[in-house]
C-alpha cells in the first residue's frame, strides 16, 4: 500500500475488514457492502435498456422482413439511346492526372486556377428503382438518383508555370446514402410517383424504419458561400463538401435554426453578399424565405410567405432591393394523394404569379403580379429598371417533373412533350402534349407603381433552351448577356430524356433583325439576337457555367466550361469556349479518363489562397 492508503487504514479512518490487505481490496469491499442497493438498481436499469434495445432491434428486423417480403424492387431499364444516363462508379480515392496528349489546345494563360464541378443523378445500385406490392406500384422519378460530383481541377505548376489538369468524381454521402450503402441494397421505398396507396405506404414505412420519409438525393446543384462548398437538392438541407477531396463533411443544418428543406438555387444579394434562400414544404408554412449573413454564421431573417398552396420552388431571383418569388402551379398536395391523385402535379387550372418582396420584408410586404399560368424552373436574371422589376427566365407550358399521371405511357408522354412546336403555335391536336416542355426565353416587366405586368417571349420556336448561365458579377443587376444549353428536341423525343446539342449566347439589347441565320434565329416577337455554339453530331452537353477572365471587367469576357459526351465514341470531354468567339471551336478540349453521365448544374470554384492538401 502507498503511504496515504496505509495512513487511512491505520488511523481508524477506515476499519479494515478481515482479509483485506490492500486499498484495491478495501475499495472493492466497500463498494460491494455499502453500494449493493445502488448496484442492483443500476443493473436493473441496464437490463431494461438492453431489453429496450433488443425490442428496437427486433422491431427493426421485423420491419425489414415486412418490406422485403411485401415490396419487390426492380431496376428501371434504359434504352440504347439513354445509355449515357446510366451511372458510373467512383474512379478512386485520388485525383487522376490528365496527360498532355489528352488535352487538345492550351488552357489560356488568363484562365483562373480552381475547380469546375458539376452535380448529377447517379443511382447507387446501377439504376433507378421501382417497387411492386399489394399497395400498387411506385417509382423513382428521372431526377432521383443519388448525387455524384464530377470535378476538374485546374492548377499551375509552381516551378514551370504549366497547367496541371486532374479529374475526380465522388458520391455525395448523405445520411440516407450511408444507410443504403451499409445495407448494400435499395431500402428506401419510392415516394413521389405511382399509386397513391403505394406512396402512402412508402412514407409510413420509410419513416418507421429510418426516421425519414424519402432519400436525400443532393444531386442538383453546387454552390459556394463564405468560402465553403455545398451540394443541394431541394428535398433536404445542403451537404458541405471538401473541395479538395470531394468528401461530404455533413449537413449544413444552421444549428437547427432553419429546420426545413433548402432551395436548389439560393442567390447572393448584390452588394451585401448575403445569401437569400427559400424552403418549400408539403405542410404549412408552405414557403419560408431566409437570409443568411455574408459570413454564413447568422440566419438574419426568416419569414413565412403565407402561400395558400404547397409548390415546387426550384429557383428565386434577387435585385438590388428585392427578392423575387415564383408562385407557379406545380403543386404538392397530400390531400390529393390521399384521395387517390398524384402527390405532385402541374395544375393546369390553377394560377401563376410573381412576388416582389423588399429584401427584409414579410408576407404583407410582397407585391404580387398575376401573370399567365406556365412552368418556370430557372430564372436567368432579375433587375430594377426605373419603376419596373424585370424578370427573365425560361417558360414552358407544362412541367416535366414529376412525370405523367399514373396510367399514362411514360415514354410516350415524355417523348411527345420534348418534340418541337410549330411556329406561332404552342399546342397540338387534342389529347397530345406535343411540345409542352418546349422552353423559350421569356420576359416579365413588373411595374411597381401601376401594378401592371407586361410579358413577352424573347426567342422563337426554332429551338428550346434551358439551364441558364451568366456572369455572376451582374446577378441582380442590369445585364446585356446570358447563356444557356440548347435542347435537341428530336434526340430528346427519341430517348424521352433531355439532351442538349449545343449552347446559346443571348444579346438582350440587340434585335435579331438583320442577323444571319447561322448567328441568330428570329422569334415571333422580333426577339433578341441569339448566337450558337454547335457541338457536332451525336454530341451533347451538361453542367455549363460561365467563368470570367482573370482581371476583366467586361460582362461577356470569359469562357463557358461544359461537359460534353460523344455518343458515337462513348467518350466524355470538358470544353472551354471563349465567349468573345462564341461560334468558334473550343479553345481547349480535355478528354476525361472515364465516361461522365449527363447531369444537372455546374459551377466554378476559384482556388483558395492556401496550399492544397
92 Rama sector, left if φ>0, alpha if ψ -120 to 50, beta otherwise:
left
Nearest Cα residue to 103 out of 571, 596, 562, 587: 587
Contact 560, 469 (CB under 8 A): yes
CA distances to 13, 42, 97, 415 from 102, in Å: 84, 67, 10, 36
Provide the 8-state DSSP code for 190.
P
Handedness of CA 48, 53, 58, 62 (dihedral sign): positive
Task: Single out the residue of 291, 317, 337, 342 nearest to residue 443, CA to CA.
Answer: 317
Going from the C-alpha of 348 to that of each of 330, 345, 375, 580, the distances in angstroms are: 9, 9, 10, 41
Residues that constitute the known binding site = 265, 314, 378, 601
Please answer whether residues 90 and 170 qualify as being in contact, where contact means their C-beta atoms are separated by less than 8 angstroms.
yes
At a CB cut-off of 8 Å and minimum separation 6, what does 604 contact?
112, 114, 115, 116, 117, 545, 547, 561
Cell 496550399 belongs to 611
Give CA–CA dist 179/144, Å, rounded: 16
Contact 147, 80 (CB under 8 A): no
- 46 vs 28: CA distance, rounded Å: 21
157: its cell numbers: 505548376
The three-class DSSP label of residue 246 is: coil
User: Is the separation of the CB atoms in 531 and 519 below 8 Å?
Assistant: yes
Report the binding-site residues for Fe cation.
265, 314, 378, 601
What sign does the dihedral 258-124-562-382 (CA atoms) show?
Answer: negative
What is the number of alpha carbons within 13 Å of residue 226 lying toward its C-beta?
12
Amino acid at each position: 500500500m502507498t503511504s496515504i492508503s496505509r495512513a487511512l487504514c491505520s488511523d481508524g479512518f477506515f476499519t479494515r475488514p478481515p482479509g483485506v490487505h490492500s486499498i484495491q481490496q478495501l475499495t472493492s469491499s466497500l463498494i460491494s457492502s455499502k453500494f449493493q442497493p445502488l448496484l442492483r438498481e443500476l443493473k436493473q436499469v441496464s437490463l431494461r435498456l438492453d431489453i429496450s434495445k433488443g425490442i428496437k432491434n427486433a422491431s427493426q428486423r421485423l420491419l425489414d422482413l415486412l418490406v422485403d417480403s411485401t415490396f419487390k424492387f426492380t431496376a428501371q431499364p434504359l434504352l440504347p439511346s439513354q445509355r449515357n444516363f446510366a451511372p458510373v462508379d467512383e474512379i478512386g480515392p485520388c485525383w487522376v492526372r490528365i496527360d498532355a496528349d489528352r488535352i487538345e489546345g492550351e488552357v489560356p494563360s488568363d484562365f483562373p486556377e480552381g475547380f469546375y464541378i458539376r452535380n448529377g443523378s447517379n443511382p447507387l445500385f446501377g439504376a433507378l428503382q421501382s417497387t411492386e406490392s399489394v399497395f400498387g406500384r411506385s417509382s423513382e422519378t428521372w431526377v432521383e438518383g443519388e448525387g455524384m460530383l464530377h470535378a476538374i481541377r485546374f492548377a499551375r505548376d509552381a516551378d514551370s508555370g504549366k497547367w496541371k489538369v486532374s479529374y475526380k468524381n465522388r458520391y455525395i454521402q448523405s445520411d440516407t446514402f450511408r444507410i443504403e450503402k451499409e445495407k448494400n441494397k435499395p431500402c428506401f421505398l419510392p415516394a413521389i410517383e405511382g399509386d397513391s396507396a403505394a406512396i402512402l405506404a412508402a412514407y409510413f414505412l420509410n419513416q418507421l424504419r429510418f426516421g425519414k420519409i424519402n432519400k436525400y438525393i443532393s444531386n442538383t446543384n453546387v454552390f459556394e458561400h463564405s468560402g465553403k462548398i455545398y451540394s443541394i437538392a431541394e428535398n433536404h438541407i445542403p451537404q458541405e463538401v471538401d473541395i479538395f477531396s470531394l468528401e461530404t463533411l455533413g449537413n449544413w443544418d444552421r444549428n437547427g435554426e432553419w429546420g426545413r428543406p433548402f432551395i436548389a438555387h439560393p442567390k447572393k444579394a448584390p452588394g451585401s453578399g448575403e445569401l437569400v434562400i427559400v424552403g418549400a414544404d408539403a405542410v404549412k408554412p408552405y414557403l419560408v424565405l431566409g437570409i443568411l449573413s455574408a459570413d454564413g454564421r447568422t440566419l438574419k431573417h426568416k419569414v413565412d410567405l403565407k402561400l395558400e398552396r404547397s409548390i415546387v420552388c426550384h429557383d428565386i431571383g434577387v435585385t438590388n432591393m428585392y427578392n423575387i418569388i415564383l408562385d407557379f402551379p406545380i403543386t404538392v398536395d397530400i390531400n390529393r394523394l390521399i384521395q387517390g391523385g398524384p402527390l405532385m402535379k402541374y395544375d393546369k387550372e390553377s394560377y401563376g404569379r410573381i412576388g416582389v418582396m423588399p429584401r427584409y420584408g414579410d408576407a404583407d410586404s410582397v407585391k404580387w403580379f398575376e401573370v399567365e399560368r406556365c412552368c418556370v424552373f430557372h430564372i436567368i436574371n432579375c433587375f430594377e429598371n426605373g419603376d419596373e422589376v424585370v424578370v427573365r427566365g425560361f417558360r414552358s407550358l407544362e412541367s416535366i417533373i414529376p412525370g405523367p399521371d399514373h396510367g399514362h405511357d411514360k415514354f410516350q408522354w415524355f417523348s411527345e412533350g420534348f418534340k418541337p412546336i410549330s411556329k406561332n403555335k404552342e399546342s397540338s391536336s387534342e389529347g397530345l402534349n406535343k411540345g409542352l416542355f418546349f422552353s423559350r426565353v421569356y420576359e416579365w416587366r413588373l411595374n411597381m407603381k401601376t401594378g401592371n405586368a407586361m410579358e413577352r417571349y424573347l426567342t422563337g420556336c426554332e429551338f428550346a433552351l434551358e439551364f441558364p448561365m451568366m456572369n455572376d458579377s451582374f446577378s441582380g443587376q442590369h445585364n446585356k448577356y446570358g447563356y444557356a444549353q440548347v435542347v435537341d428536341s428530336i434526340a430528346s423525343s427519341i430517348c424521352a430524356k433531355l439532351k442538349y446539342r449545343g449552347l446559346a449566347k443571348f444579346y438582350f439589347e440587340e434585335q435579331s433583325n438583320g442577323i444571319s441565320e447561322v448567328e441568330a434565329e428570329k422569334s415571333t416577337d422580333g426577339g433578341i439576337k441569339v448566337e450558337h455554339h454547335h457541338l457536332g453530331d451525336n454530341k451533347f452537353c451538361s453542367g455549363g457555367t460561365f467563368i470570367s477572365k482573370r482581371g476583366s471587367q467586361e460582362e461577356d469576357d470569359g469562357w463557358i466550361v461544359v461537359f460534353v459526351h460523344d455518343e458515337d465514341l462513348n467518350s466524355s470531354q470538358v470544353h472551354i469556349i471563349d465567349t468573345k468567339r462564341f461560334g468558334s471551336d473550343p479553345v481547349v478540349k480535355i478528354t476525361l479518363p472515364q465516361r461522365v453521365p449527363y447531369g444537372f448544374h455546374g459551377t466554378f470554384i476559384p482556388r483558395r489562397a492556401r496550399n492544397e492538401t
